[in-house]
Amino acid sequence: MKLNESLGEVQDIMRKNIDDLLLKGENLEQVGSKASALRDQSDMFRKNARYLSLQQLVKQYAVLGLVGLFILLILGSKLGFFSSGFGLFGGGGSSASAAVDAAAAVGLEGVVNAASGGAVGGTPA
């Protein structure tokens, strides 16, 4: 009898240990899923923080940048960067007058007269 009682106690203890291990395994799975969710949320937070930081930087310096650009445009126009030979916005006349000058340099007077409004053939109309 004593042997059966001890065997029964050992079986009860082993069942309890197995139940505890299964419960711990489930708890570990829950901890793992919570850790995964926390990692995903931290990545989302990092992305949002970067976006908000960039957005705040733009808000902070946009007006200053626009004022600086406006001043540069005014200075550029006063110094002649947009009308002289720099080639930024027009520099040096129209393409039609450039074509007439090029044709006259080669000796195509008929083309020069036609381009300048005269008749073809060398005699003005």
Chain segment 33-66, per-residue pLDDT in tens? 999 999 999 999 999 999 999 999 999 999 999 9
Q: Is residue 1 part of a domain?
A: yes
Domain of residue 40 covers: 1-57
116 within some domain: no
pLDDT grade for 111, boundaries at 50, 70 and 90: very low
Q: Is residue 118 part of a domain?
A: no
The DSSP string of the chain is -HHHHHHHHHHHHHHHHHHHHHHHHHHHHHHHHHHHHHHHHHHHHHHHHHHHHHHHHHHHHHHHHHHHHHHHHHHHHHHTTTTSTT-SSS-S--HHHHHHHHHHHHT-HHHHHHHTT--TTSS--
Report yes or no: 116 and 100 within 8 Å, Cβ to Cβ. Answer: yes
Residue 41 lies in a domain: yes
Residue 16 lies in a domain: yes
- At 125, the pLDDT band (50, 70, 90 cuts) reads very low
Q: How many domains does the chain have?
A: 1
How would you class 113 by CB atoms within 10 Å of its CB: exposed for 0-12, middle for 13-18, buried for 19 or more? buried
Q: Assess if residue 84 is contained within a domain.
A: no
Percent of the chain beyond pLDDT 70? 66
pTM: 0.42
* Residue 22, domain member (yes or no): yes
For 58-89, what is each residue's pLDDT tens digit?
A: 999 999 999 999 999 999 888 888 775 554 45
Query: What tens digit of pLDDT does each residue of 2-22 get?
Result: 888 888 888 899 889 888 888
Q: Please give the pLDDT value at position 99.
A: 58
Residue 25 lies in a domain: yes
